[in-house]
Structure 1
Amino acid sequence: MDLELSDLLRNFELVEAKIKEHCIVVSNMPSCTTRKTAVVSLFIVDSLLDDLTHLLNHKADQIVGVNDQIVTVHEELILLRSSLTDITLQQHPQLEELLIQTTDIAYEIEYIINSFPPVWYLTLRLPQFMDKIKRIMMGITETKKNIDTGIVEVENYPTKQVSSQEKGPPILEDIVVGFDNKETEIAEQLVRGPEHLQIISIFGMPGVGKTTLSKKLYNNPSVVYHFDKRAWCVVSETYNKKNIFTEILKSVKDHDKETITQMDDESLVEALYKSLIKRRYLIVVDDIWDMNSWNDFGRYFPDDKNGSRILFTTRHKEVGLKASHHSVVNELPILSDVECWELLQRKVFQKEHCP
């Protein structure tokens, strides 16, 4: 595929998000408003996280003096995104306003970062951004607390009730083009094959659809039925082992979330191991950059020879190859021009062809 077309498709995501935002404003479907706004907010935050990761990894020489602050903003945004995913099923005006604020601050940060201002200006603005993010998170926490205690009422859109072990990445109605055969192939790798714990990886260039495909696999009915426990965690280049274990444990164990958050590292590892032992489990490790991180926490997953699986998404083929002697590596190729155009139409116009 022509790289210019690939770049155009990637840059068009911001335009697409704005189109969706305007569609939400004029929508006459109030029962779905908060959910739609959450989809847009998550989309914009994900785009900003990609930009910040690229800046930290490839343009660090341009941000000397504020590198640590940008890392902090990146970490705060990851926490904010996690909080947003917890409220996508809630319907309340307070949440709607918080989601809009999230979209606004994400756009503001993205504009400033991509403008490459002088370092002294970033030194002034980055603390302001962090304060805004923390205020939004405080608002989300307070609103959720009020909802949980019955102080405010919410409307939930119809959905199947799921147990804690079925929780995972938000279903954001992402569109996948050109990977139908690959989805079937990887689903077979997950539910069939050897009994020992096996690592299966999906690798490809940024933006090609690794995470989107993994979400579809995670929620594939045959996969859901096959595994006793499922969990999803995001690693990225800068990661925190305790946060990873915390997120996984929240998905596979019926612990109170506050109790899990307060556990020390040793207690987390022990609780996680006990939750997974003798169970057939699937752990999705999204956006893993190198083997150092996997070597750091991968040894804590038990292998009971019962068909458990670890699913990687990565930009680097060698991560999948070196994960284990029995690992399976799946490459997502760059979309063809025809597939790019199809994806563009379906993302923006929600149909097969331009109107």
Structure 2
Amino acid sequence: MDLHLNNLCNSEEMIWQMEIEPMMKQVDSIVGEVAAEINEQMGLENIKQIRLSSKEKEIKTREEPPNALRKDSWSSTKNLMVGFDEYLMQIVDQLTGDSSALEFISIVGMGGIGKSTLATHAYNDPYVVHHFDIRAWVTVSQSYNIRDIMSRILDSMNKSPKGNQLGLDVYQNLKGRRYLIVIDDIWDIKAWDDLKRMFPDDQTGSRIMLTTRIADVAAYASPSGALHQISLLNNDRSWELLRAKVFGDEPCPLDLQEIGKTIAQNCGGLPLSVLVIGGFLSKLEMTQEVWRSVAENVTSFVFSSDDRCSAMLRLSYNYLPQYLKACFLYTGIFPRNHEISVSKLTMMWVAEGFLGQAHGRSLEESAERCVEDLLDRSLILKSQNNSEGKIKAFKIHDVLFDFCIEEAKHEKFLKIIGSPAHLLSTSTVSERRLSIRVDVLFEHSRFNIDSMSTTSCVRSLVSLGRWPPSSDLFLRFKLLRVLHATEVAFSQFPCQVMELLNLRYMALCCNGDIPASITKLWNLQTLIMVPDFDLLGENYLPVEIWVMSHLRYVRCYGANFLDPTAAKFDIYRKHVVLEDLHTLSGLWNFEFTEEMLQRIPNIKNIDVFYDSRCLVENEWSYYQLENLGNLHQLKALKIFVIPDPSCSVNSKFTVHFPASLKTLTLGGVRIPWHELTIIGSLPHLEVLKLKDNACVGTEWEPNEVEFCQLKVLVLESLELEHWRAESDHFPSLQRLIIRWCYSLVEIPSGLGESMTLTTIGLDECEDSVWDSANEIKETQLSYGNDDFQVTNVYSAERHSKRMFFQAFRIMKDAPDDSESSQTDEDE
């Protein structure tokens, strides 16, 4: 059967290339000649009248999409347009606009968000119905047959095929007429390539509207067209939709309103969930007790009460390539509503071996592309961007999370451990991944590790709770590749880990030095060591780490790297180069000697802290920062001085920045403002963060030839009072963030003339700074920049965290952990 269908498709393709396309050209030529002749004889107005007459006499259109779309009663009620009114108005305007060119409108969003519903209402809008000569609706889906689609388009126009040349039939029936074609639920770029040549562009004002879950397909099909990314409903609109589904035009009883709003909120803004729950509630007893039980298990009720939900989500999952399925299921290793760090997750993917190294891409770049693919396919929700505009963290909608967990369980991909008792009862574990989520400490409690003797197939162990540490547990996982247990505080480095020779990713919380025996972990790619905050301080990495050739990422807070020239390596390891190492983070008083830098030629990110007392003793020249200029792959650099009230650093900050830098964060280095020229001249610098007395002085006036590529500027805890600048000084600036600059009088008004600025974020600034920001906003709005924002970037959590670490770094001489990441969210 499949072979027969393939032969039909191939035959259709050959017929198209050999016969139909030439015939179409002849049709175009004939129609053009006839149109020219009619135009001469009757004039343009008569041509319009001919079209209207043709519409009245010949063309009958369907008033609704095909039955396949209308079969779900919950998807055809007027209530479904709650939250979509604005989208609908925009789409109707685009469909009926004055442009005579063939235009494309794409509707993109996750399964169940209402794409087809929105398209249906636009398709059946009375004004749209009157506007077009021909309307046709076709649903493509994942498995499609091009001949079947052609037949359905003809059927939608009440036309019968005249032969085997269906594509030509479609083309001829559309030729010269104003048509609207809706291509619903398209998944594949190839599907669009197969369809698009059937649609003539005769400058008649025709439109093609697509719905898809995949952003790349929409962008490919209509690169210059209108794209509507459908957002989740807010809490108010979710409640409005739920109330309308349950009670129709009747009011909700007062005693159910509060719990009803909670149910709506727990649907996570997904219209599908709201409607399914609404339909379920409408059949139940209207009591607080019943509704409260639903509120506590919303997603469970969604799946149990309507199989269409899981079927709809499964479509998205089944369409993924195999490696992306593994990547998606792996997200279930984190708890519900957890904000998942992209950098952490992608390193785990790499360690698990999910990804092959694509030509011209590193493993990390391939992993980031996978995150973007999941986002484009509407399977994850972006929650944070980093300063470069890339996705830094994401969440998973509750409905998709439940589907992920169920599928992972079905595939024996992942096992979740919720308590010691749960683990004790586990005599056999066939899953290859364990997620331990015990979040309390049990006195005199210990895992029975003997019961875990059959768990040798486990590849990932991720602990997200503070369960009683027992390093002996690790010995039961000889094949472990990923070990993440930063919530479990070990008093010292657990040497039993050295027996896990297959480890590629290790993240632990412990104090003290790492032993030289770490070289046994010769496969290790990612090393993360988080100190226990009760004993925060400096620790040493063994010099032997320089021969661990597979290392890609090292983050060890307060870590002091020893000079490899002091080591007595054997002749074969003396000159090992860490070719794959791209990140060194959390370094402490790092000395950039030539020998060290020669071993990390491809380093891209460096994050280093200096003790102000050491700087008083040694001065900056001791740390040889001028050698940084030799790191030609370095993209992101952070240098932060930990202040000490008992001493003052007077040494001049001397550094040679590499031209490759894109992100630079400085804190406490005390550069005079007029010396920022060396930074402003960096040709590729896009993000600059100046924090905690990074610069000294009260006045700053940059030069016009500086900061040509700068997109993000963060000024935080500086003594700056007067800042004089025009838009020409920052020709590419998009986001300006100012925090805790209590002396600053105002933001330069000249920035209001900027053609690129989109956001000013402020926190704890003088009223005059807010006033100047709002004046800039008024100027931007007068230029038509309606998206310009002035926002309060205050975060109570971030502020309290900052205060906590400020106290700790004075008491314990500790680095500020909140500043330790190269991808901090400063917006």
Tell me the TM-score normalized by structure 2: 0.22
Greater fraction helix: 1
| Structure with the greater alpha carbon radius of gyration | 2
Q: Higher relative CO (CA 8 A, sep ≥ 6), structure 1 or 2? A: 1
